Amino acid sequence: MKRLLFVCARNRLRSPSAEAVFAGVDGIETSSAGTAPDAECVIDVEMVEWADAIFVMEARQKKFLQTRFAEALKDKTVVCLGVLDRYTYMQPELVDLLRQKMAPYLGRAASSTNL
């Protein structure tokens, strides 16, 4: 089972959407968190250690993780998806964009219409 952690700022729209979209992929376990102090679920070192790969929505989240969790990230893959904060939760355009951005990492499973 591969564990994927999705991170955005407040863990209300983008990262929970990604968590929900990819939770249905065989062999994948997902979670999500935010970097802001008022996030629904604030990222912590245990979450970083749990993940096999971390997907952030913007470069500033990657920078935050590298600063805050440098030691825990040593053997982790951290990928910036470049998804801006302009979508609502599970907005069809967001779902399509997430599938497109994740396709190189998940292959056909990311673009499946069954997700």
pLDDT tens, the chain, 115 aa long: 999 999 999 999 999 999 999 998 999 999 999 999 999 999 999 999 999 999 999 999 999 999 999 999 999 999 999 999 999 999 999 999 999 999 999 876 565 534 3
Q: For the chain, state the CA radius of gyration.
A: 13
> Cα(24)–Cα(90) distance, rounded to whole angstroms?
14
The secondary structure of 37-89 as a DSSP string is TT-SSB--HHHHHH-SEEEESSHHHHHHHHHHSTTTTTT-EEEE----S---T
What domain range includes position 70? 2-111
- Cα dihedral sign for 83, 59, 81, 39? negative
For the chain, the distance separating the N- and C-terminal CA atoms, rounded to the nearest angstrom, is: 17
> CATH number, domain at 23?
3.40.50.2300
| Structure token pair of residue 10 | 């407040």
Tell me the pTM: 0.93
Q: What share of the chain is helix, strand, coil (3-state, %, to 5)?
A: 40, 20, 40
What's the domain count of the chain?
1
